Structure 1
């Protein structure tokens, strides 16, 4: 068995001791190797402002759906307004009573104007009204005995009034006229109606107009 040389062994032990002593000094001092400073330039900061976009237009309120799935705005509802046009005062209204007779006369004059002189037309309409009241009520029949030949009135009307009348020439000869009447009255059962129509024929005899059938 061989042993190492004494000088070589001493040197080895001395080197290990020095290494241990250096390590202890470093730990005791609290210092540690620091990384080398980084001299790289910092990244450039971008100063360009971000791009701006125009504001999107306001979307209309959703309305009924279209065939393609989109929606359309609801139209503004129409506000109804009351008509200010007055009702014509010359329009006859059933049930107005004597107050509405003027409107009936105006309508009759416009729809079938007389073809006789005004004075003759007025005389004939008044005469025809009297004849018709005698016809329907029996009052005044004695004035025209040839017209009312003794026939009795079996179902007389009452509250009779002529609402309107217009006279026209009735063919030839010129001394013959027809008067169209609109009248109102209650029958024997008490039913009152207005707007009834009738006609009376008149002929000129010895310068006098007389009712004829």
Structure 2
């Protein structure tokens, strides 16, 4: 019989060391992958946010201590409108929420008669602009180019979700904020679209005045 090979003690020691190192590395990796221990939350303060403030939309809440106060221009930008909007696809229930949040974010600052006139005109202008219906009422806003204009949105499915009319930095200027839904020529339906129509007060006969829409730029 041929002699059985003998194992070197040095080889045995090296194998033992390598196995020990591999085990240590595996234990280290397992320890590093464990989620960090959660830090306990600090105890709640004795006072809490008043329910009237908690119910406000983000655009109307008072700033936290040490935070800069928002300017009037910031409060009337489209980003402020978007912060008051619910999720897409909420339907009529979402429309009521949009209207309520807009009215809360921008309190009324116009006489009731002016607000009604502006809302009627703003809604009609938006419908004319989106669907092409009724554009002849405002030749200055929708000039006749002599070329047929294909409406950007279908009349079916067109819906104004909410609208408010407010002053636009001057007693003689106003803006109508509208949130609406519609299906474009490509067949894509989208709600929570935002459009603003600006108006200026112009004199009429016998001292009366009216609100005239400005062309969109």
- Structure 1 gap segments, 5+ residues each: 1-87
Match of 1:198 in 2: 195
Shift in alpha-carbon separation, 1:92–1:118, aligned structure 2, 3 A: farther
SS of the counterpart of 2:177? strand
Match of 2:159 in 1: 161
SS of the counterpart of 2:201? strand
Match of 2:104 in 1: 110
- Structure 2 gap segments, 5+ residues each: 1-54, 58-84
Give, in whole Å, the separation in 2 of the partners of 1:98 and 1:140.
25
Shift in alpha-carbon separation, 1:97–1:191, aligned structure 2, 3 A: same
Asked if the contact 1:179/1:201 (under 8 Å) is kept, the reply is yes
CA deviation vs aligned residue, 1:117-155 (integer Å, no higher than 9, x gap): 233223212210110110111000011112111155345
Give, in whole Å, the separation in 2 of the partners of 1:147 and 1:160.
21
SS of the counterpart of 1:146? coil
SS of the counterpart of 2:182? strand
SS of the counterpart of 1:150? coil
TM-score under structure 2 length normalisation: 0.52
Give, in whole Å, the separation in 1 of the partners of 2:158 and 2:108.
24
Match of 2:176 in 1: 179
Structure number with the higher helix fraction is 2
TM-score under structure 1 length normalisation: 0.52
Structure 1 runs of 4+ with >4 Å offset: none
Asked which structure has the greater CA Rg, the reply is: 1
Match of 1:126 in 2: 120
1:145 paired with 2:139, answer yes
SS of the counterpart of 2:86? coil
Give, in whole Å, the separation in 2 of the partners of 1:156 and 1:119.
32
The CA RMSD over aligned residues, in Å, is 2.2
Aligned length: 124
1:101 paired with 2:95, answer yes
Give, in whole Å, the separation in 2 of the partners of 1:106 and 1:138.
29
